[in-house]
Structure 1
Amino acid sequence: MNEVKVTIIMATYNRANFILETLTAIQNQTFSDWECLIIDDGGTDNTAEVIAPILRQDKRFQFLKRSDKYEKGLPGCRNYGLDLAKGDHIIFFDDDDLPHPQNLALCVSELADNTIYFCRYIRNVFFGDFDYQFDYATDYTSFYIDQNDVEAMIKNELPFNSCAVMWKKECFEHHRFEEHLMYAEEWELYSRIISSGYKGISIDKCLFYGRKHPESNTGEFYNHNPIRRASYVDAVLLVLKNLKEKNLLSYRIIRYFIAISINFKEYALFEKILTILELSKLEQFKWRFFFAILPIRLSLYRMRKAIK
């Protein structure tokens, strides 16, 4: 298993207060044949000073400034890392989270199967200080994921967190992050990869712990940051275009996107969805009627739920 090298790609921006704990957790991996590319996105704090000792001590870490060929932001940093990666497998870690010590080892073991191109696992979250009490059991259950699971992935019934998947490098030969996206960039990219026919496995074991704080991209999105919300709208439209081109759009997927578009009226998401779908006048009328009565249906649903 140690013959396979893993490239860890970590974008960072002003995380001097968290990043050292993350790098130490990477050093504590039971699998040792890895490189970690730390891509700085133009931070202004003392991250470089904080991590300097670990860079001198462990040459598997590299600290790099994002090249100007790539757009500022998480997607650009990750694409830069993909172009530099020497590993057979790729995994993206955030600069404020913590991987389980068995993360790399178990994923590499699963990817030894030549028919499997990615390994998904469970990600839990934590607040404040982390409790370093790990479960080292290896008797977990698993199931396969393929193109038939695209709908569940898109609807987040089968979540694909950016830091909860290891990929074979081949998955990125024709697929990269859309660099203008500032939110949902991994959701858009991963749906493209899976819809292209790559088969993977999901293991029922937590191998990553996400730190929750309001400065995260997700935290900003749920606090109605307009940049994150606009990016999500763009990601939705890209996902729709991809599925339409691959003839993978189902009634349930269309219904899902039209339903969520009610929360993005300021971006005219509903009208943009109809434009992409290129529906007949009759089909457009049906969806416009569905969209018009949706607030009433949601109100009735909330009332029934409150009564129960």
Structure 2
Amino acid sequence: MDTSPLISIIIPAYDRGHLIKETLTSVLKQSYKQWECIVVDDGSTDNTKQVVEEFTEKDARFYYYRRPDDYPKGANSCRNLGFEKSTGVFINWLDSDDLLSEDKLAAQLELLQHSHHEGIVFTCKWNRFTGSTEGIAPKQSHINRAFPTGLDLLKAFDKKASFFPCHAYLVSRDLIDKAGLWDETLLVNQDGEFFTRILIHAKEVLHPERGMVYYRTPQTEGVSNFQNREKMESSIQSWKRIEDHLRQAAPEADFPFLEHARNYLFEKIGDRQFLKEHRDFFKKQFYRRRLWPRFVRKINQVFKT
């Protein structure tokens, strides 16, 4: 009898018929065989269902569910429903347009022989892609390593490396039970808020030398997030919650990525009136903006003399 732990791969999908076949194929090719793959359809109007059923018909490890009408619409709701349906000891969240290398799961679970199941988060190397993944090597980063706790990884996030994509993580089920499921009210940065809670509770972060994931670079989504007032509001709310989580868990610790996030939002959000409405959140950014003209004038005076 195979005693290898079962991994549940959970995929929310909406109108991904043109991309999800490649994603599911990357799951099917995993060298680690003890997995189930749960696809939750968010009400697609294209051929997503038909594409997924090609996989469910040939491999019993694939499951297809359609989000019930009484569940809120959105990827987070689908992820939470997928978790309810899952039975794995470990959970791998995967978006319907992203990919796993064939050895991703095997490489991560090989590290289990040196540890236990509870309280573990695995990460792995990753990189972006747009079309083919051929020839794409992992990003080089100082966070591509193990950490004693999840808080230590959170402290290491900074301007140069502020996140892992959600499918780079492999999370023990007990951690999700402790940290809670995805926040269905957030429209932007849901993964940042969710994995902050996960890492706060993580007793250990393991990182294999091999295996990676591929993150499909969105073509327009990042721009629309900063032109849509509702999404701008949701983004700020996500970062306020992240900061609250961290201050409660480690009040005296320094988390450089928090200020980097503020700077990034302040530069990207084009609606200046909206920024003024959130002046308390962007206090340092407004202060630096006031000082900058004075600094420039002083520099000019120095060079004139």
Check whether TM > 0.5. Answer: yes
The equivalent of 1:184 in structure 2 is 189
The equivalent of 1:84 in structure 2 is 85
The equivalent of 1:212 in structure 2 is 217
Residue type at the aligned position of 1:32? K
Aligned counterparts of 1:262 and 1:213: Cα–Cα separation in 2: 21
Alpha-carbon deviations, 1:139-163, whole Å to 9, x = none? xx83225223323337673422111
Change (3 A) 1:203 1:156: farther
- Any stretches of 5+ residues in structure 2 without a counterpart? 139-143, 300-305
Does structure 2 conserve the Cα–Cα contact (< 8 Å) formed by 1:240 and 1:249? no
The equivalent of 1:71 in structure 2 is 72
- Once the two structures are aligned, what percentage of the paired residues are identical? 21
**Partner residue of 1:295 out of 279, 282, 289:** 289
The equivalent of 2:43 in structure 1 is 42
Aligned counterparts of 2:27 and 2:261: Cα–Cα separation in 1: 38
Aligned counterparts of 2:175 and 2:92: Cα–Cα separation in 1: 12
Does structure 2 conserve the Cα–Cα contact (< 8 Å) formed by 1:41 and 1:66? yes
Aligned counterparts of 2:189 and 2:259: Cα–Cα separation in 1: 19
Does structure 2 conserve the Cα–Cα contact (< 8 Å) formed by 1:123 and 1:207? yes
SS of 2:165's partner is: coil
The equivalent of 2:120 in structure 1 is 117
Aligned counterparts of 2:265 and 2:52: Cα–Cα separation in 1: 43
Aligned counterparts of 1:154 and 1:191: Cα–Cα separation in 2: 14
The equivalent of 1:173 in structure 2 is 177
Residue type at the aligned position of 2:278? L
What RMSD, in angstroms, separates the aligned Cα atoms of the two structures? 3.1
Q: Does 1:149 align with 2:153?
A: yes
Aligned counterparts of 1:149 and 1:22: Cα–Cα separation in 2: 28
- Any stretches of 5+ residues in structure 1 without a counterpart? 136-140, 275-287
Aligned counterparts of 1:145 and 1:220: Cα–Cα separation in 2: 38
TM-score where L is the length of structure 1: 0.79
Q: How does 1:218-297 map to 2 (within 5 A)?
A: 218=222, 220-221=224-225, 224-248=227-251, 250=253, 255-256=259-260, 259-260=263-264, 262-263=266-267, 266=274, 268-271=277-280, 273=281, 288=283, 290-295=284-289
Change (3 A) 1:8 1:121: same
Residue type at the aligned position of 1:269? H
Q: Does 1:163 align with 2:148?
A: no
Alpha-carbon deviations, 1:173-223, whole Å to 9, x = none? 1321110112211111111122235321233445111222325x54643x6
Alpha-carbon deviations, 1:236-282, whole Å to 9, x = none? 111122223234364665755654563455153342x49xxxxxxxx
The equivalent of 1:284 in structure 2 is none
The equivalent of 1:32 in structure 2 is 33
Residues 239-248 or 8-17, more deviating: 239-248
Change (3 A) 1:134 1:29: farther
